[in-house]
């Protein structure tokens, strides 16, 4: 099956710093999505981005489907950005979603 690898596994930032999170996947996918899990466990959709680039405020994401990777950019990080960021892909069969292991981010005040 498809393998999804995220890096780095852990990241500590000073408030105001920028960061890039990476997601590599091993095969062609239908969909790709980034989620943020807050410290209370709630998973929130960030981007649905099977290809191209999208921006939402301080966050942006780029997926290069032909090279099988996606990047999530966080600029001017804030303490509320802390949590775990997951990349998830959907296989070309159309139903199964595979999650990466996540990047745990801690932003220090």
Cα distances (Å, whole numbers) of residue 26 to 48, 60, 64, 84 = 18, 22, 13, 22
Residues between 28 and 87 that touch another protein (CB under 8 A): 30-33, 35, 40-43, 45, 48, 86
Count of residues of this chain found to bind another protein when the rule CB under 8 A is applied: 25
SS3 percent helix, strand, coil of the chain, rounded to 5, is: 5, 60, 35
The CB-of-51 to another protein minimum distance in angstroms stands at 13
- Per rule CB under 8 A, is residue 93 in the interface with another protein? no
Decide: helix, strand or coil at residue 80.
helix
**By C-beta, is 73 or 99 nearer to another protein?**
99
13 touches 77 (CB < 8 A): yes
* Residues at the contact surface with another protein, assessed by CB under 8 A: 4, 9, 30-33, 35, 40-43, 45, 48, 86, 88-90, 94-97, 99-102
């Amino acid at each position: 099956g498809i393998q999804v690898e995220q890096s780095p596994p852990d990241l500590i930032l000073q408030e105001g710093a920028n960061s890039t999170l990476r997601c590599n996947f091993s095969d062609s996918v239908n969909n790709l999505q980034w989620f943020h899990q807050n410290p209370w466990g709630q998973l929130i959709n960030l981007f649905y981005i099977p290809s191209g680039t999208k921006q939402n405020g301080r966050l942006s994401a780029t997926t290069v489907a032909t090279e099988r990777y996606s990047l999530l950019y966080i600029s001017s990080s804030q303490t509320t950005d802390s949590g775990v960021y997951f990349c998830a892909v959907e296989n070309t069969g159309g139903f199964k979603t595979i999650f990466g292991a996540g990047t745990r981010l801690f932003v220090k005040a």
